[in-house]
Amino acid sequence: QVRLVESGGGLVQAGGSLRLSCAASGINFSRYAMGWYRQAPGKQRELVAVITSGGSTNYTDSVKGRFTISRDNAKNTVYLQMNSLKPEDTGVYYCKTQRIDRADYWGQGTQVTVSS
């Protein structure tokens, strides 16, 4: 059973910070790239950040310099540190497995709301 469980979302004022966590089970975590996605109200789900099994990272332009994705393979957990939050960062944040030769698995999402 593959399970991804996000946590750490909440309500924060603009300029504040949150750290999201995604705990994975049922997979060989260290072999998977992991991504954070978000879906704002009325918008398509978008990739926010990705970290490869080797630790390389990429970010969508709108969060570069503000968000940091990291992973702790010993804890089977991927993190998204979000700083200098803006109202446009509001949305449901999801973690997702990424393996070219495997099915994608999604977490249930965690709500991030940034007030102006």
Q: What is the per-residue pLDDT for 116?
A: 93
Among candidates 10, 12, 8, 38, which has minimal Cα distance to 20?
Answer: 8
> Cβ neighbours of residue 61 under 8 Å, at least 6 residues apart?
none
Where does the pLDDT of residue 101 fall: very low under 50, low under 70, confident under 90, or very high at 90 and above?
A: confident
Q: What is the per-residue pLDDT for 11?
A: 98
Percent of the chain with pLDDT over 90: 95
Cβ(55)–Cβ(18) below 8 Å: no
Q: What is the per-residue pLDDT for 74?
A: 97
Residue 102 has pLDDT above 90, yes or no: no
Average per-residue pLDDT in the chain? Answer: 97
Q: What is the per-residue pLDDT for 19?
A: 98
Where does the pLDDT of residue 99 fall: very low under 50, low under 70, confident under 90, or very high at 90 and above?
A: confident
Q: Which two tokens stand for residue 92?
A: 């449901």
| Model confidence pLDDT, tens digit, residues 22-70 | 999 999 999 999 999 999 999 999 999 999 999 999 999 999 999 999 9
